[in-house]
Amino acid sequence: MALAEAGARGRLLRWPRVLLFGDSITEYSFQENGWGAYLAERLVRKCDVVNRGISGYNTRWAKLILPRLITESTSPDSIAAVTIFFGANDSALKELNPKQHVPLEEYAANLKSMVQYLKSVDITADRIILITPPPLQESAWEKACLAKGDKLNRCNATTGQYAQACVQVARECGTDVLDLWTLMQKNQDFSSYLSDGLHLSTKGNSFLAAQLWSRLENKLSALPSLLPYWRDVDHTNPEASLL
């Protein structure tokens, strides 16, 4: 009875959400030393960092899913930020990987459609960050493909075209963008950022985490820590501090 009364008096505790939406590079981001785990640690008691990475997916499929993750009934205030991180699969070569491949113009249109959907449910442009695919280290990825009995099914120059399209969509839509493809190649030997030529290594995860945090910190710095520090709780009357 006492718990029920306390629940009735107290406000429902809701942590704002940072939604990470993407392919396998997002799905794996909660692994040890992953970029998503880094964000979750930095934002603990401020936001829930929600991993909605779906391995192997492209923007053609993603745009169908997004309205089921953030619906018209979702309170806009409950979404602190959204990252949209696709392109590594869309940019697969059509003749060698037709299932995942999405033509360049459609890729750009799909990204724009997702941003426009978020805006339509009152997620403002300043809370949306597009992330380009990282560069592809072809020799390493070819080894990974050959180990599965496949041919090299991606190339870095093509991935770069998709990265440029992502940057252009962000410019047109007024959102922030993290151009991983360009930033990682400022270091001429970018292979250390990748574990298999496509997915991120520990170093690549750290690089992405730092770059993304520099963009998120200003957006989220004003968010309060939820619930008082334990030393600030009135232990003689905890209800006064916690309800």
- Residue in 192, 127, 183, 128 with CA at minimum distance from that of residue 160: 183
Candidate list 113, 196, 201, 206, residue with the active-site label: 196
- Secondary structure, 3-state, 41-107: HHCCCCCEEEEEECCCCCHHHHHHHHHHHCCCCCCHHHEEEEEEECCCCCCCCCCCCCCCCCCHHHH
- Concerning whether 24 is annotated as a catalytic residue, the answer is yes
Candidate list 24, 113, 192, 201, residue with the active-site label: 24
Sign of CA dihedral 108, 79, 54, 22: positive
- Concerning whether 176 is annotated as a catalytic residue, the answer is no
- Concerning whether 235 is annotated as a catalytic residue, the answer is no
Residues acting as catalytic residues: 24, 196, 199
